[in-house]
Amino acid sequence: MRLQTFVLPFCILPMMAHAQEADWSYSATIYAWVPGLDATVDTPLGELSSGSGSSNVLDNLDMAFMGSFEARRDEWSVLIDGVYAKLSTGKETPFGLAYSEGDIKTELSAVSAYALYRSYDSAQLTADIGVGLRAFDVDLDVGLKAGRVANDQNFGGDKTWAVPLVAGRFTAPFNEQWFAVGYFDYGQTSGDETTWQAVATVGYRINERWAVQAGYRHMELEQEIGGLDSDIALSGPVIGMNVRF
């Protein structure tokens, strides 16, 4: 994986804040994510769809990580979010006697950067809206296991691309400790490459610096990878720790 492609955004924020560091506030969140993989790939032999059921998510998950960093000044904030996941899924194929089973494996890195503006701020609700960019680096491997009348087949490839985004985030405090956060973004290019994600969490603020959050996250993308039209979705529960500094 070419993870170095995504290092640059994380190096920019300290330089942005250096000139007026006293006016900025910062927060960082590290999450544990347990996503399942649902994928549909158009192979030269036909469409192959497979998904991780709730009972075998951990068996199909090799690794997943996500984290975010936010810098805020007055109504404006800059948010960077990173995701890495390595997953696989398999099922019986629809290709009759030729192929008995199909496997889809993916290794995905996604880094999203946003500029957000606080458009609404009250004791009951805050709303941030903005624009951003999501950069993907995806390796896709599709394998077909031979049945009675064919040989094993493998397809796939890797691709790096970026998609512009529009985004919205809403935070609703229940009291001084408990709060809820909802987030959504959507992006599309002129080449019909699309991505969207939704996140919903409930959090508990331990003190002025520390908070814990738990909820659910779904991320989806459509892209041609290795000559294969692919629809890849990752979704599952998340739990994380947030710190302000």
| Sites in the chain below the pLDDT cut of 70 | 1-22, 52-60, 91-100, 146-151
DSSP 165: E
Give the pLDDT confidence score for residue 48 in this predicted structure: 78
Which tokens sit at 232?
Answer: 């890849």
Predicted pLDDT at 64:
79
Q: Is the pTM of this model over 0.85?
A: no
Q: How far apart are CA 215 and CA 238, in angstroms?
A: 5
Can you give the pLDDT at residue 192? 76
Given this model, what pLDDT does residue 125 score? 98
Q: Rounded to the nearest 5°, which phi and psi values hold at 11?
A: -90, -15
pLDDT given for residue 57 in this prediction = 60
Please write the tens of the pLDDT for every residue from 161-219: 999 999 999 999 999 999 999 999 999 988 778 999 999 999 999 999 999 999 999 99
pLDDT score recorded for residue 170:
98
Q: Where are the beta strands (DSSP E) in 1-152?
A: 25-33, 36-43, 46-51, 61-73, 76-92, 99-121, 126-146
Q: Say yes or no: domain 3-16+26-244 is CATH 2.40.128.90.
A: yes
